[in-house]
Structures are given as structure tokens and as C-alpha cells.
Structure 1
Amino acid sequence: MFDSVVAALKSLFSSLLAILAGASSTGVSLDVPPAQGTIQEIEVGDGPEWGTLSGLTAHPTDPQRLFAVTDQDSRPTRIVEIELTPRSAKVIRQIEVTGPGDDDLDVEGIVAKQDGGFWLASEGGPGNVPANRLLEVDPTGTIVRTIGLPPAIAERMGKKGLEGAALERTTTGARLAVAFQAPLDDDPPDCTRIGLVDPATGTWSFFLYPLDRNDSGDLTGLSEILHLRDRTYAAIERDGKGGKRSIKWITTFELAPEAGVGPDSPPPLLVKRRARDLVPLFLAEGRKVEKEVEGLAMAADGKIYAVTDNDNERATVLLRLGSADDLF
């Protein structure tokens, strides 16, 4: 009897160890809740070929409409409209982005304006050549205005620049929030920036966002930012790896009502929360864990979606993650 009890306890203990080992070996961080939902391939629809989607936003009022944007690897730069049904996601329209400076764009972020049109975030190169910049475009894709970085920030840019855009409506108008993918020169090495800009004046202010490192010691980066509610934002923080041990997180943080600090002052450090781990969702669906989860959007009905950049190598997939209230 005693021996059988001991054997049963040993078996139970071994099972628990296997579960814990399996959790860590699949890259599931025990302090990051796994995301739940479904993953489906986006139907390409009619029109020119596209591959690399680098940002995602939602139609302001229609919960069945999303907009993505192509980066420099799918020229010309296009805004891709996606129609959602309960069982499908299909591209139904492509809007080419045209206007001054459209020849060197590398758009990595998009956010829809309430009154029509979009703001786009274009990533520049080392030394800010070509320039990192925000572009206001009308509903036809025509560039109507450009906002550049302050000189004190532009001169410190590396090859990884602007990587996402969000729009927060305030009592006095609106403010744009922009995610920087990687640290600036002379900033703390494990921090990148969140920039805020007043669209009416073009005035910038900044916060620091703390990054993590994966098992190989590689620094994560930001690939998207999304305004959720009030002062709360979400971001996609990820490494550049695939596989079950990679980092693919959705994080949340709060921005104070004041507008951070100017380009010549040390920015305050934000406090982030690791809200969801996307790796288990890929594994649960028997899919390869994508290296580049690039876009995050909240539809008009409060549902959260994410999109991958397929590097022109395979199907682009849409992650249906459920309601914002349940996720965050």
C-alpha cells in the first residue's frame, strides 16, 4: 500500500515537472498569460500582388473593416482594405499612397482618422537618411502633410526607426503616439522611445519604454502601438526569431495626461505590463511561430486583431484575439 502511494506521488510529481518543463520549453513565459483566439490566412483578392504588411488599423465605425499597409518590400506603398466575415478575411481594395517623397517610403505604421484618411509612420535609415516621418494622407492615399522628427532626435536615429502609430482623441483635439523600434544613440541600451506629437502644431514629446532580452541575449523591439482607452495603450514587443522560444508579446502601459518631455530632456520611464503571449496561439493551431507580428488593431466593436509580415515567403495571417475587455 505504502509503495503504491509513493509510486503514485512520484508519477504525479513527474507529470507536474513535465508540464512546467513543457511550458518553459515552448517559450511560454509563466508571467505572461497566453493569448487565445484563432488564426486564418488573409485572402489576397483582386489587384496587384502584395506581401509584406507592416501595420494594421480599424475602420472608425465599421467593425467588419480593417486597413493594413505595405512596407518597402511590396512597392508601390499601398493601403490594403480587409473585409471581415465570421469565417474569412479578404482584401477588397488597395489604395496607392502618392505624393511628395513617395519614392523612398518604408511605411511601418498606420492609423485611421475619425473623419477619413490616415496617418502613416515611415521608417528611415541610419542618421535619418532617408527621413523617419509621419504622413497624413487623404482617403484617396494622397499625401497632404508631413511631420518630421526634431533635429535633436533625428541625428540619433539608427537603422531601426518609427515602427507604429496610434491616434488618441482628447478633449482638445487629438495626439499621435509613435513607437520607435529600437534604442536611440545615447539612450539607455535596453530602452526605446514612445513619441507623442500634436498634429496641430507638430510639437514632439517623449517617454522611455523598457525592452527585454530573449534566451539568446538579443534585445526585443517594438513593432506596433495601439490606443485602447483613456491613458492606456498596447504595443507589440517581439524579437526577430521564430520558434517556440521566441518572444511575441502584447504589452500595455499608461501615458500620463501631460505630454512627456521635449527632445532635449531625459524622458521618464514607462511601466509596462506583459498582457498576452502570442506564441502559444501559433502552437495551439499547429502553425509555425511567425518572426514578425507587425500590426495590432481594435475594431469598432472592441475586437482585437493582429497581422503578420510574411516577408513575401508565405501566406499572411490574421490573428483574431477576442475582445479588448477580455484581453486587457
Structure 2
Amino acid sequence: MPRLAFLGPAGTFTEQALRLLPEAVGAELLPCPGNPAVLAAVREGRADAGCVPIENSVEGAVPPVLDGLVGDPPLVIVREVVIPVSFVLLVRPGTRAADIRTVSSHSHGIAQTRGWIAANLPDADVRTSTSTAEAAAQVARGEVDAAASAPVAAIEHGLEVFAEDIADNQGAVTRFVLVAPPSAPPPPTGNDRTTLAATTENRPGSLLGLLTELAVRGIDLTRIESRPIKHRHSEYWFHLDCTGHVAEPAMGEALAALHRRCDEVRYLGSYPRAAGLEGNGSHRGPGAPAVPMSTAGEREFTAAQEWLAALRSGGQG
């Protein structure tokens, strides 16, 4: 029976997302106290895969997850899922508005409900928890008076819904990814995403050169973010999401070119795009510019091709 780690305790949005994936059917679910703990469980072999949030439509990326994905040993994304995020205010039975002096939630939950809390509970002390479900557990234990949480947490912890739809931005969604040790990627579907991270020399035009390797091959960049490299001042990882699959010629050429150009490239997986996120397909479209000849030497070309072959077979090169 496979073991799948997720941000716990029971009742988190992450658990809801994980249960939507086919990999969760018949699996043992392992709750973890934080997103770094989920990644650690996979790296240490205590879980076969782990589900973590990577970005939401209000607050953007989840920094601990981005930072964790470029750690060692390597991990790759094998699937993604996007779910709507709806917040309610949970309290112990019988709680009145005047009784609510403390409110807890995950940092992203606080960010998405800050306006409602300020307008309706202006004197409440807002506290951060490791997850929205842990915030609900804190209410049940009497540690705080209310929690901005998922509706399902009310059932898990015997709480009442004091207020519904308390999010400041209705229609918010969060994207979750399932990560696992490197293996052969899922086969191309024609609507795939490839995620990678790269570092490049700090000089004028270096980022432009990186992006050009994608543009000249007609590859659509859907997300780019920078994160500082720990213990290396003024150096950054560039995290990128692109349409396409490592097995496709255009994406393979682009990855090999980045391997030649960049100081370091971390391939973080090719996988089917989640329902509702379909783009224009993953192939080079008509009219895409021709790929220019590279000035890299034969040794760099050979090394890049060997690295690409390793990625396609499930290794990391």
C-alpha cells in the first residue's frame, strides 16, 4: 500500500486536494506538521509521494515549497490539481461575537481573510498556525476562540460555523502538486506542464538569454519567480513553469540549451496540466522563430544531451 504525505492534520485543503488524485485511492495518508515535513517524508522514504500547495490565486507562490523543491535528494512533480478555496469562521458551540478575542489560521488563510476579520472582528488578535486544520484543532482545544478554516474542519473537530464565505476574494483557487523521487515522467498528453529551476551568472542579459531559449522554440512560459539561494548572497533560483513535456523535441532542445547556458538547472518534472488550466497546447506553434545555432562547444553539447537522456529515463543526470 503506497504512503502519501500531506500537510496535516486531517481537514486541510491539502488533504482535500490529495483525495482528488487517483494515486490516493487505496493509499495510506500520512499527515505532516508542515510543508517542509511533507518533502522530508518523501526524501527520507517514509512516504512514496507527498502533496503540497505550490501557489494560490491571491497570495501567489508558497515560498517554503519552492525552496524545498530545489533541495537534495532531488524530487519531481508528477501531478497537479487545482481546487477552489472557501473559508469559514469556526468556533466552539455557543460562542458569541463578543467571545471572539483570538483568531487563528495558516499564513495564507490569514492573508485571504484579513479584510473580513478587520471589518467584523476588529479587536481580535490574529495568530498564525501551521495549517487551517491545525487552527481548527486549536479552537477545539480552547487555545484560541476562532479559526479561519475549511468547512470540513468543523466536522473533524466538532465545531460550529460562525460565518461562511469570509474570504476577501471570492473564487480564489490553490494549485497543489504531488511530488515523488525521480522516475520516468508520465507520458505526454499534449497538454502538459514542465517545471524547472535555474541559476545563471549575474550579468546583463543573462535572464534574457535564459528566456530566449524558450521563446525561440515557441514554448510558453506560464510562471517565473525568483527565490534567494540560501547562504549565497545576491544569487537566486529562477523557478519556471512552461507548457510542454520533456519527451517532446522542442522542450528537450530548450532544456539541453539551458543546461549549456545556465550555471545549474534543476528539472522538477513534466506532468499533465490540471483540469481548467488548459492552454494553447504544449507544442511549438506556427510562426515560432527558428532556433539559432549555439556557440557552445562539442563537449557542452554532449553533456547536455546526456543530461536530457537521463531526465527522460527518470534520472537527474
TM-score range (shorter-chain normalised) is under 0.3
Which TM-score applies when normalising by structure 2?
A: 0.25
Greater share of helix = 2
